[in-house]
Amino acid sequence: MEETAYRTFEGKLAFYHPTAAGKGCAVRFEIRPARRGYEGYVFAELAQQKTAAVRGGADSKAATFDWKSRVAVKLGLNDVCAMLAVLEDRVASAGGDKGLFHQTADATTVIGFRRAEAPAAGYCLEVSRKARSGEAEPARMRLVLSEPEACGLRHVLGGAVFHLCFYGVTIRPATPA
């Protein structure tokens, strides 16, 4: 069997939206390509703002986000294509008025993704997760992506579609290593 050189690029597309009041949110997307026997997906993690930024001389600090209490969602091919349809102005909202619904043994999650006009033009991403056991309050996170951010997300998700479906795509080096 011929040896093949692989090069792995690890990275995440992240958008941070802190507010002065400390009520912001951040999201990061990571592509997990298909493998033999497994479908690919895009992993999205959202985190609430933990601390507000501090500005002023030597004591300046950036806002922080609570990644330990993040809400993570696994977006399959249908979810990614539903979001792309919104980003390409084919539909008003991913999953219709009720959003994309995910249910696991532990929780129920609703993912809303739609075009937003107010308070600012862009694309609103809302995730609500409720534990299936107990009386815990649902975790709700929301942020509005600007037009340039949405453009970048559209290209990343569009490029990911192939990799969510197919595995084993290999580029062979021109000369043996």
Domain coordinates of the chain in residue numbers? 13-165
pLDDT-above-70 percentage for the chain: 88
Residues written for the chain: 177
**Model confidence at 81: pLDDT above 70:** yes
What are 85's two structure tokens? 């349809």
Peptide bond into 148 cis (omega under 30): no
Report, at the CATH architecture level, how domain 13-165 is classified.
Answer: Roll (2.30)
Determine whether 43 is exposed, middle or buried from the number of CB atoms within 10 Å of its CB (0-12, 13-18, 19+): middle
**Model confidence at 76: pLDDT above 70:** yes
The model's confidence at residue 37, banded by pLDDT at 50, 70 and 90, is: confident
* Total Cβ atoms within 10 A of residue 5: 10
Q: Which of residues 93 and 11 earns the better pLDDT score?
A: 93
The model's confidence at residue 48, banded by pLDDT at 50, 70 and 90, is: very high
In angstroms, the CA 40 to CA 92 distance is 26
The chain-wide mean pLDDT, for the chain, equals 87
CB 84 within 8 A of CB 75: no
